[in-house]
Chain A
Amino acid sequence: MERVKFGIVSYAHPHVMRYAPAIAKNEKTELVAIASEDVNRDLAIADAKKYGAKFYCDYSELLQDGDVDAVYIASESFKHFELAVEAMENGKHVLLEKPIAMNTRDASELIRIASREGVKLMVPFNPRFTQPLKKAYEMIRDGEIGKLVYVTAISENVKPPIYIRGFNAEWFLDPAKSGGGGFMDTAPHGIDSLLWLVGEPRRIYADIGAKVYGLPVDDIGTAMIEFNDGIVALLTAGWGNPKGYPWGLEVKYHLVGENGFLDVRTAYPDFEVYGEGAERVYWERPDVDSIVQGFAEAVLEDHPVPISPNLALKNLEIVLTAYESSRKKEWVNL
């Protein structure tokens, strides 16, 4: 196997619009099949045509296609578990959108099945693949700012996905399908980067709510996370940006050490374009390409995936604990 033959299952999650081209153009991967049963099927069909991939109206048909080595699952969150199980039981490696599942029991089950079936399972989290954060990680590791003591992170502020033009993301507003709103959608990226940069979290206090748009799900959340050895992180994440805010991700970190601090003004390299509105244009997304490539190499060379699925489980546990803290309005231990 020189290249991993990829299938994409579902076009419900807007990240698919970045993963489809990344998979199609990566030298280690080939996009051979796309399946969409409902949401954004028109986009899925158009992409299948564009990339010369087979199109399926039924997920099971794609998951049984012997040509497919691996799948990227971009379905609604509540379908992650059943689709990933079916994929893995059909011997497919799985790149699964976050959150890994709706609850930690299902998440643990997925990890067990991956191990049993001998397939790779990975949930992508992006900031750790960006140049500025990689640099920050190295500088902290090399002691350039002394002991890390405090982090304030915005990861990330975006607009609600329902405002993406030409893309149906209504399911995000149904907690039964999404598990939560803006915090559930965006905080996992920030949490992953904190697990990577800082260490093991101990307890969490969070405030999450529908404060900006009045949507049926939360749109902005703040979490104060205490880590082992006393490091504290303050994380803001959600969909709080107004409609006029440029499209794109606002991802920022202040990493404060005893002898200095790192000011990561944006994790993603961009420039801004103003016209009728404002937009942010990224000249590269090393994160998505690195995720696709790292996953493909793990499959091809049979070594561990870049982000262990156990971290996706822990990530979900932290996110769910944040929601619990917000409901109880008190610290909750992890």
Chain B
Amino acid sequence: MSTLKVGVVGCGNIFKLAHSKALKKLENVEVTACMDVIPERAEEGAELFNARAFTSFDEFLDTDIDVVEVLTPTFTHPELAIKALKAGRHVIVEKPLALNTEDGEKMIREAERRGLMLLVGHVRRFDKRWVTMKNLMMKRNFVPTWMKKSEVQRLPFPADYWYWDESKSGGVALDLGVHVVDHVRWFLNAEPLSVTAHGLSIREEAKVNNTYDHFVMMIEFDGGKTGVVEVSWAYPYPSRYGVFYHHVDVFGRNGRIRYVPMDTPMVGVVKGDFEVPRFSPLLSTYPEAFVEELRHFFACIEGLEEPRVTAHDALIAVEIVEKAVKSARTGRTERW
């Protein structure tokens, strides 16, 4: 097998916490270029892989790379991904695919036109908890018909961080929302017919940024199936309660599957106060999920595997959220 040369754009949080560690574990992949608009970050990233550092995207693209990993804030995804595709590179982009479906569609069209892979980091599909559940449902002929998934946290960033700026991140509805609606659609194995949503601005950070920090969606899927989605950056958990993040409840023909945060492998620590240390650098998933995701994506690029989650799946996730936000703003149900 040949070695894929990978260039990374955006050497911030998700790179440091997840992708850099996963990339280190993979064979047949070599990170040869790291780009960031902040020179120190580009240098730091490059140092990890003995790669070249760039602050210019054009110069970065000029190097001999096969794959571009786009790990930048969401609003920059379309421009960077399309440029990379136009330069003939396969693209792996963090979720959300884009801020809206219009941009997402452009990205997909560009990839299709050029016969290149565009893969989106829907890492829930590679988390061993959810993969085990999905396999178990299939093995036991458990047909899920109602699912509620919550991902709730207290976003630890200040009000001027880009996450709080809806024009950059899409807010909690999109940023966590795409994960959860994709998870629900994946489990229910159905397509959306309508969505009815409600948004709240609870924290001061959300109010000053005029964005939602707590968002609820009820999604009607075909086959009479129902998805209930809750995402929050406002849940008043102290962030040291690292495992209180996912809640899954699936009802269906032949059973029910329930996962509560306390089921996460945890050690409760009592020292005058009670805390539950995180099980990984990220609140949301295990480091192994990123390793498996990237291993799979590179195998897809090599033509050895078929994508388990496609750019089209990622686009539908964006579309559901887009309609949901519209529903929350207008107070009406949005339909397909």
Interface residues, chain A, with chain B CB atoms under 8 Å away: 145, 149-150, 152, 205, 207, 209-214, 220, 222, 224, 226, 230, 232, 234, 236, 240-242, 244-245, 256-261, 329-331
Contacts and interface: CB of A to CB of B under 8 A. Distances in A.
B253 A214 contact: yes
Interface residues of B, number: 32
A149 B200 contact: yes
B235 interface: yes
Contacts, number: 87
B332 A331 contact: yes
Contacts of B196: 205, 224, 330-331
Interface stretch (B9-17, B48-56, B224-232, B271-279): B224-232
A330 B333 CA distance: 6
B326 interface: no
A245 B333 contact: no
Given A222-B226, A259-B236, A261-B235, A240 B146 contact: yes
16 contacts: A205-B218, A207-B226, A209-B226, A211-B145, A232-B198, A232-B216, A236-B228, A242-B254, A256-B214, A256-B234, A329-B220, A330-B196, A330-B332, A330-B333, A331-B196, A331-B332
Interface in B116-155: 145-146, 148, 150
B255 interface: yes
Contacts of A257: 236
A209 B235 CA distance: 30
B251 A205 contact: no
Given A222-B146, A258-B203, 6 more contacts: A152-B150, A207-B218, A222-B226, A222-B228, A330-B333, A331-B332
B216 A224 contact: yes
A244 to B, nearest CB: 8
Nearest to B150: A152
A214 B253 CA distance: 8
B256 A240 contact: yes
By DSSP majority rule, is chain B's interface helix, strand, loop, or mixed? strand
Interface string B203-219: 10000000000101010
A323 to B, nearest CB: 15
Contact of B228 (A230, A234, A330, A331): A234
A33 to B, nearest CB: 41
Nearest to B250: A240
A224 B202 CA distance: 18
B210 to A, nearest CB: 15
A150 B333 contact: no
B333 A258 contact: no
Contacts of A240: 146, 251, 256
A211 B236 contact: no
A241 B255 CA distance: 7
A241 B228 CA distance: 17
A230 B230 contact: no
B251 A149 contact: no
A245 B332 CA distance: 36
A221 B30 CA distance: 51
A45 to B, nearest CB: 37
**Shortest Cβ-Cβ A-B pairs, 7 listed:** A211-B145, A240-B251, A330-B333, A205-B196, A242-B255, A260-B236, A207-B226
B211 to A, nearest CB: 15
A211 B202 contact: no
B333 A205 contact: yes
Nearest to A208: B226
Interface string B257-274: 000000000000000000
